[in-house]
Amino acid sequence: MTGLLEVRDLAFAYPDGRQVLFGVNLTVRPGERVAILGPNGAGKTTLVLHLNGTLLAGSGSVRVDGITAAKMSLREIRRRVGVVFQDPDDQLFSPTVRDDVAFGPRNLGYRGHELDHKVHHALHAVGMAEFANRAPHHLSFGQRRRVAASTVMSMDPTVLVLDEPSSNLDPMARREFADIVLSLGLTTVMVTHDLLYALQLCPRSVIMNNGRIVADGPTRDILAGEALLAANRLELPVGYALPV
């Protein structure tokens, strides 16, 4: 069951007392790709920060491959759940691409040939192997996002979490990143406002609003519900018609 993600009755409030999640339940099966849609402030980011233990449940639970996210299991949860943030510069801080990608596995104890293999494999998976010796800040935004994904892939995750993966990408970079996601074959959770990207990448979507999941089903069916989209401040591009 590698890649199984289970969220059960998850509730969470920030220290100021503001409750953001109210009994969220979500199961993502191995190999499934699921988009999380919803307006700003719906709780989407708070939910995904629970998936790799950045936040820990106030009540309820998050389990990955049968392991419950808790203080004592954070190292293993963070190895299994790789998060690619919206801004790649939040993840890239080393002098070279290679150093950034090597950071995670080096901390796990990999050295020498094994470390080199991890780095090469992760960069090759995102089409960035030839840029290993480049400085990340000399790359385009789309290339930096691919390197950020590579830093996650070097840890051999079973679940991939993408935060607004299409933002700030030109059309070609957008397509290239989509091709990468599809080629990886990982269980994937994608937070996005880009409904067409969700349709392209994720057969299933859920809508969050006010800290709850209010809809869950095939992405095409979700996007065909005009009243559902409107009620949750979502809309398709003007003039776009879903393919028959």
Structural domain spans, the chain:
5-231
Please give the CATH topology (third level) of the domain spanning 5-231: Rossmann fold (3.40.50)
Mean pLDDT of 65-85: 93
Q: Which two tokens stand for residue 197?
A: 């990207």
Find the angle CA(187)-CA(65)-CA(109) to the nearest 5 degrees: 95
Average pLDDT, the chain: 93
Q: Which two tokens stand for residue 54?
A: 């950045």
Does residue 173 surpass a pLDDT of 70?
yes
Confidence of residue 241 (pLDDT cuts 50, 70, 90): confident
pLDDT at position 1 is: 60
**Pair 10, 57: CB distance under 8 Å:** yes
Does residue 244 surpass a pLDDT of 80?
no
Does residue 60 surpass a pLDDT of 90?
yes
pLDDT at position 226 is: 93
